[in-house]
Structure 1
Amino acid sequence: MENNGSDLFVIILLGFFLMLLMVSFIVIMVIYHRQRQLENRQKVASMKAEFENTILNVEKEIQEDTLSHVGRELHDNIGQMLSLAKINFARSKPESISEGRNIINQVIKEIRGLSKSLNLDWVESINMEDFIKRELEKLEAAEFCQTDFSIEGEPLSLKKDEKLILIRIIQEALNNAIKHANPNTISITIKNENDSKLILIQDDGIGFDTANKSEGSGMANFKKRMKMLGGDFQIDSEQDKGTLIKLYLPK
């Protein structure tokens, strides 16, 4: 009887310890799970803040570029047109007065176009294809180089924030070609077929050794912005053989 009582006590004691272990395990798992949830929330909040900060920086850069463009247009284009209109109005000939009026009407159209460019709401209404065409037309109008644009597959469908970032990435790529490549031709191709979304930016300029490519703020921004889009990029270049930039967009 004493042995039975002792065995029962041991069984009860073991059961108590097992129950204590189970409760401790459950408590630890709950605490661990809540900690992981908290870490995930903090990570998501950090990513969201970083994305919003990237958007703000992109908007600021685009606005600064736009203001620079407006300044050049006011000085080089509209200023000259107004001077020409003044000369025509100073003449007494009817045809000169008529020409002056035509020039003023053109000035009004130019100013309206510039005022629209100051508001980034145009990003929502424009698609990437039209934006790229417009950027390449600027290069040809400035007689910088020849350009080519093509699209394979469907037009890209992007949200405003995604477009803003991609617009700035393409602008940076073109600016780098303008500053450093000295190309005769710049071409951009959009490939949006099946499960692949790819933008190719190619020039036939002087190229560079990719092993010695700069890791400065420009390249860092490039990497960061492609990461924000959920995509990736690759740069292929050789000395005197041009440069090819591949922008891999998320599917």
Structure 2
Amino acid sequence: MRRIVLIFSFVFSFTFVHSQNRVENVSVGPAFLNLIDELDSCITSEGLNCIEIADKIIEKGKRERVDFMDYLYAKKAYYFLTRNEWDSVITYGRLALENPHPVEEERSDIWTYGHLVNAYYYKGDLDTAIDCCLKMAKILEDGGDPIELGRVYSNIAILLAQSNNTEKQIEYLQKSFKLLEENEDKGFIATAASNLGLAYLHKKDTINTKKWLETSLELAELSNDLVAKTQSNYILSTIEKDLNKSLQYSELSVKYADELKDKTSQSNAYYIHADNLYKLGKSDEAIYYAERAVNLAQEIGNKPSLLQAYKTAAGINYEFGKKVKAADYFNSYVILNDSISSAEKAREINEINTKYETEKKEKQLVEQELKIQQQRANLFYAILGGALFVVVFGGIFIYTRKAQKLKLKQLQQEKENAILNSFILGEERERKRISQELHDGVAAMIGAAKMSLESIPHLAQEKQQEQLSKVRRILENTHADVRYIAHNLLPTVLEKEGLIKATSHFAFEINETKLVNISVTDNNSNAQELSPQLQLMLFRVIQELVNNIIKHSQAQKAEIIFSNSPNGLQIEISDDGIGYDDTEGTGNQGLYSITKRLKSIGGNFKITKGKSGGTQAKVVVTV
């Protein structure tokens, strides 16, 4: 039998954060206390629906306008957390944060952030999870429970593992272990040591990996920490070269995971054990544990574990001749990986925008401070002028004004450089995004098609046509993806027929969506005579302005007119929406980008509010 190599991306032992801290200080009164006790009793009874009780408590709180609505919302979020209903956890967690207790010491924010960390983690939104963790740590660092802070540091490190920032990850884990050790924690310190072992494994430092795993198992024996025992054994299983010893470690990992009855730990232990069984040729057992890992991860909606379980099950089924199942698992892996990649792309776009907005605000603050300093300087020199000769006063005043103008000019240049750097960063990320789309989307789907085709000879005659249809659908989707990527790079119509035709085609596509109706008119302009590079730049400008109309104007109709002006080519884009007035084009990043690009080629851009409503944008380019 041919052997494949399965490369595992380990999921750290992530601890649920149930810190009460300030919640213990909340005073709710006897009437609410009885209802909350009833809800707690319901929550601990597995399988019971407690929504009616939770809603009753919240409605009572609203009627009586109580100060502790954050606690009541957090309580309902906790109920959904115990039922693995992540979207509902997020909904009620946000409500809790939006309605804080007026007394800081009685707020439920730490507890709520703990709910949100777990919900976002299991949904695969790791960036939001780490943001919640950092907010939680900030509160705990200001006089909170040090043991709870140690757990939060460990969770931050776990989330940092996704960014491959191993040094920062180890730094947080060491801070976690030190806090837990100093405060004589027995409940989590073994897991923290195990996480350190896994971090050093990612760093390919085998000596420190074994050292921390051995420390973890010693501490776990003292506290019977089943999480640490499970994780440490399956990591030791993967670094052990002797297959029989490796199998012994993975068997122990499965044993402890089953005792723990935690589905995430079981899923992780099962797919590692499945790989060992596969290497020893035990096909039935290997497939059983691989598929159990998938089922458990699906039950709790744990995307990081599910992604690895799909990959493992696909590889093992393929090698043992179950190619139809292998193709199904691999297709599921591709789809899930695609959804996580899409979320990452959206996050990168937000990062660029946030960076730009932050830099913009910082520059505004500096400019304001400079303005205040200028006013103080002017006052000082005015008083001084009464005592000094006019010539001396004039000299000082002129010198000061020049220095300040130079400073302001320098500041403006820095501001423009910062924004341009943001644009350059955006372009680089766009290139990486396209590369990632080709790798994760197109290449993966072709791989799935290949595996599906290879399985056809092994199928019954009546199943072969069904499998061919599945391959056809995969290839059609792949073809559509490639066309979409190519169209985004350089529209075919623009390349072959020029700016006017490309704009008309773009308007037609927008009209098909029914979002707004756009007409395009060419009044014998010379647009087709422009260089291809300039036509592409103007086409991107038109796209940006039309997108602004769709997003912000609430317009029903829009018109694009190409014409000649004394200064060259003129493009007018108008709509019948609510109007927008920003002559300098600095109202947002898109308009500022248009202004900068056109100025760089000697062009001009102006946007005004129409007399009878709507907005008119005018682009003039010297030909």
TM-score, scaled relative to structure 2: 0.24
The one-letter code of the counterpart of 2:519 is D
2:555 — aligned with what? 183
1:142 — aligned with what? 513
Pair 223,112 (structure 1): closer, same or farther in 2 beyond 3 Å? closer
Pair 111,241 (structure 1): closer, same or farther in 2 beyond 3 Å? same
Q: Structure 1, residues 161-207: CA drift from partner, whole Å, max 9, x if none?
A: 32232222112211211111010011101113786410010111000
Q: Distance in 2 between matches of 1:114 and 1:239?
A: 39
Q: Which shows bigger deviation, 112-121 or 125-134?
A: 112-121
The one-letter code of the counterpart of 2:486 is K
Bigger helix share: 2
2:132 — aligned with what? none
2:597 alignment partner, one of 214, 225, 246? 225
Bigger strand share: 1
Which stretches in structure 1 are left out of the alignment for 5+ residues? 1-49, 75-91, 93-98
Q: Distance in 2 between matches of 1:62 and 1:189?
A: 33
Q: Distance in 2 between matches of 1:119 and 1:62?
A: 14
2:427 is aligned with 1:60? yes
1:151 — aligned with what? 522
Q: Distance in 2 between matches of 1:62 and 1:193?
A: 38
Give the CA deviation at 1:157.
2.1
1:166 — aligned with what? 538
Tell me, what secondary structure is at the counterpart of 1:113?
A: helix
Task: Tell me how large the CA RMSD over aligned residues is.
Answer: 4.4
Give the CA deviation at 1:215.
3.7
Q: Distance in 1 between matches of 2:428 and 2:512?
A: 23
2:487 — aligned with what? 117
Identity %: 22
Pair 121,205 (structure 1): closer, same or farther in 2 beyond 3 Å? closer
Tell me, what secondary structure is at the counterpart of 1:156?
A: helix
1:242 — aligned with what? 614
The one-letter code of the counterpart of 1:245 is A
Q: Structure 1, residues 86-124: CA drift from partner, whole Å, max 9, x if none?
A: xxxxxx9xxxxxx99998897676455325325438454
Q: Does the 8 Å contact 2:527/2:569 carry over to 1?
A: no
Q: Structure 1, residues 192-237: CA drift from partner, whole Å, max 9, x if none?
A: 3786410010111000344797544333212111112321022121
Q: Distance in 2 between matches of 1:58 and 1:159?
A: 26
Q: Which shows bigger deviation, 166-175 or 236-245?
A: 236-245
1:205 alignment partner, one of 570, 577, 580? 577
The one-letter code of the counterpart of 1:179 is K
Q: Distance in 2 between matches of 1:200 and 1:211?
A: 14
Q: Structure 1, residues 106-148: CA drift from partner, whole Å, max 9, x if none?
A: 7676455325325438454351112211221222121101110
Tell me, what secondary structure is at the counterpart of 1:134?
A: helix
Q: Distance in 2 between matches of 1:121 and 1:208?
A: 29
The one-letter code of the counterpart of 2:484 is L
Q: Does the 8 Å contact 2:585/2:595 carry over to 1?
A: no
Q: How many residues end up aligned between the 2 structures?
A: 178
Q: Structure 1, residues 35-63: CA drift from partner, whole Å, max 9, x if none?
A: xxxxxxxxxxxxxxx9xx89x85993995
Q: Does the 8 Å contact 1:156/1:192 carry over to 2?
A: no
1:132 — aligned with what? 503
Pair 163,62 (structure 1): closer, same or farther in 2 beyond 3 Å? farther
Superposed counterparts of 1:17-28, under 5 Å? none
Tell me, what secondary structure is at the counterpart of 1:163?
A: helix
Which stretches in structure 2 are left out of the alignment for 5+ residues? 1-416, 442-461, 463-468
Q: Does the 8 Å contact 2:585/2:592 carry over to 1?
A: no
Q: Does the 8 Å contact 2:556/2:577 carry over to 1?
A: yes
Pair 60,163 (structure 1): closer, same or farther in 2 beyond 3 Å? farther
Q: Distance in 2 between matches of 1:184 and 1:102?
A: 40
Tell me, what secondary structure is at the counterpart of 1:148?
A: strand
The one-letter code of the counterpart of 2:483 is G
Q: Distance in 2 between matches of 1:185 and 1:130?
A: 20
The one-letter code of the counterpart of 2:501 is D
Q: Does the 8 Å contact 2:586/2:592 carry over to 1?
A: no
Q: Distance in 2 between matches of 1:182 and 1:136?
A: 17
Tell me, what secondary structure is at the counterpart of 1:208?
A: coil
Q: Does the 8 Å contact 1:188/1:200 carry over to 2?
A: yes
Tell me, what secondary structure is at the counterpart of 1:164?
A: helix
Q: Does the 8 Å contact 2:583/2:606 carry over to 1?
A: no
**Structure ranking higher on relative contact order (CA contacts 8 Å, 6+ apart):** 1
Pair 219,162 (structure 1): closer, same or farther in 2 beyond 3 Å? same
